[in-house]
Structure 1
Amino acid sequence: MNTNQIARIASLLGEPARAAMLLQLMDGRWLTATELAGAASVSPQTASRHLAQLVAGGLLHVEQRGRHRYHRLASGEVAKVLESLMQIAGEVPIQRPVVPGPREPAMRMARMCYDHIAGRLGLAIAERLQADQAIEFDGEAGLVTERAGPVLARWGLSLAPEQPPTRRARTYCRPCLDWSERKPHLAGRLGAMICAHCLDQGWLSRKAGNRALTISARGAARLRDLLGLAAWQRVTDEA
């Protein structure tokens, strides 16, 4: 047991701004340095310095996506440590929650992300398929399991045949970091297939030149049945 390392981790957790940023990431989202700076009430430069220390200490993981660098907790073990500290500290609520992504309610609820569904609806679909053990996400990889067939049958879908493993073959199932939710929704051929099915069935519709998706009354009833009432309430919650 390296006592110096224990002391180093404790010092990283013991700084108020760093603690505030870590707590904002407890729900599994990916957030930018600017968003975390606002949560911690520090300047972007100060936040970047703190985040670099947390990454070096193994508490955070960072990924570059286009112009932005996104941060999340490095592991479930880090979340467990933070949960324990919150219990000891009396679980003081976070005062400045981060609300990332677009301001428009329709865009936050459901929108197109290339050819698949993003927003709260996209996240709910991915979480439902994972809960049903039809798919699994592991970092940047996605896996379709043997349970996918029966699960997708409830959606009125069947698994498409796999493409030959060529350099141009499109990934069948992969996670895609959601702009507004900062958790992964479903992309790849399977994500596109589900999106196309929802549009073909009239559950969803879109206007030309607009990424937002409108959920029809028939679609709301069907998606509520497929996703479950609790998940559907989170999709339609405008708060």
Structure 2
Amino acid sequence: MSGGDVDIARTAALFADPARVRVLTALADGRALAASVLAVEAGLSAPGVSAHLAKLRAAGLVEVERSARHRFYRLRPDAVEILETLARFSPAWPVTSLRSGTRAQALRFARTCYDHLAGRLGVEVTAALVERGALGAADGVRGTARRPGDRLSQPLSEHPYAVGPAAAEVLAPLGLDLAAVDACRGRRPLLRFCLDWSEQRHHLAGALGAALAERFLERDWVTRRRPGHRALRLTPTGADALAELLGVRMA
């Protein structure tokens, strides 16, 4: 502590509002999220979450990052430490409604991003393709972590990946003929990648990503939770297939 008195009560008051704590908790895993996403995860209105974010920013607990027209909010590491310390001394929160939480969790788990797979399922499948040599990273970075300069929730204008030496061998059991996908893609790039907004890692897009998502739906490895909704459900058949073919095990 620096010299002189400090107003601990003012800072502590920021953690005393249940709605604001839901915003803080949604950011506690280190993700940078847009206000609209935070509103869904915290079960708040857009004006409500904006008011809470303004107070948290004024107190220096939350940082903001701009990407295109959007703002993404991130909890400072020392604020995460405060939240974790308070959690150790706090009783469990009673569950009164699962609707908004369930919807947010479903979108984070698996969804479509335009016509390709996103969410935890999308990034895990992409990581498995890199790990098994279907995709290779030219920059020498292992895995699908965000690279410096990658813009949040945006397609990557440039990416470090290329078709790997084991691509045909890995993709064939998934029902994909790499040469056929490449021949039918037109002007669309075979490989493109997005920085997933919920997982903050890369997921596969482009013609290959679209073909992969189409095959998963055709084989009923994933199904839409309801018509017109982006959230996907991983079926037991799909879970078994991904575990066997890619080593991807999703809880």
Contact kept in structure 2, 1:62 and 1:71, CA below 8 Å: yes
Contact kept in structure 1, 2:28 and 2:80, CA below 8 Å: yes
Contact kept in structure 2, 1:137 and 1:174, CA below 8 Å: no
| CA displacement, residues 69-99 of structure 1 (integer Å, 9 cap, x when unaligned) | 654424x443233213322xx2433446752
- 1:198 to partner: Cα distance: 5.0
SS of corresponding position for 1:197: helix
SS of corresponding position for 1:174: strand
Report the Cα distance in structure 2 between the residues aligned to 1:220 and 1:172, rounded to whole angstroms: 25
SS of corresponding position for 1:112: strand
- 1:66 to partner: Cα distance: 9.4
- Structure 2 spans left out of the alignment, 5+ residues: 133-141, 173-177, 179-188
Superposed, 1:80-159 pairs within 5 Å as: 80-87=81-88, 90-95=89-94, 99=101, 101=103, 110-125=110-125, 133-138=142-147, 140=151, 144=160, 149=164, 155-156=170-171
SS of corresponding position for 1:99: helix
Q: What residue is the counterpart of 2:51 in the other structure?
A: 49
Q: What residue is the counterpart of 2:214 in the other structure?
A: 199
- Structure 1 spans left out of the alignment, 5+ residues: 159-168, 234-239
Report the Cα distance in structure 2 between the residues aligned to 1:59 and 1:152, rounded to whole angstroms: 45
Partner amino acid, structure 2, of 1:114 = Y
SS of corresponding position for 1:183: coil
Contact kept in structure 2, 1:22 and 1:73, CA below 8 Å: yes
Partner amino acid, structure 2, of 1:52 = A
TM-score (norm 2): 0.53
Structure 1 residues 151 and 71, CA gap change in structure 2 (3 angstroms)? farther
Q: How many residues align?
A: 207
SS of corresponding position for 1:79: helix
RMSD, matched Cα: 5.1
Report the Cα distance in structure 2 between the residues aligned to 1:154 and 1:3, rounded to whole angstroms: 65
Contact kept in structure 2, 1:55 and 1:61, CA below 8 Å: yes
Instruction: Give the counterpart of 1:22 among 13, 21, 24.
Output: 24
- 1:117 to partner: Cα distance: 0.7
Structure 1 residues 150 and 85, CA gap change in structure 2 (3 angstroms)? farther
- 1:124 to partner: Cα distance: 3.9
Contact kept in structure 1, 2:191 and 2:205, CA below 8 Å: no
Report the Cα distance in structure 2 between the residues aligned to 1:152 and 1:94, rounded to whole angstroms: 47
Q: What residue is the counterpart of 1:183 in the other structure?
A: 199
Partner amino acid, structure 2, of 1:14 = A
Partner amino acid, structure 2, of 1:135 = T
Contact kept in structure 1, 2:26 and 2:42, CA below 8 Å: no
Which moves more between the two structures, 59-68 or 191-200?
Answer: 59-68
Report the Cα distance in structure 2 between the residues aligned to 1:205 and 1:73, rounded to whole angstroms: 33
Structure 1 residues 185 and 3, CA gap change in structure 2 (3 angstroms)? same
Structure 1 residues 35 and 7, CA gap change in structure 2 (3 angstroms)? farther
Structure 1 residues 78 and 109, CA gap change in structure 2 (3 angstroms)? closer
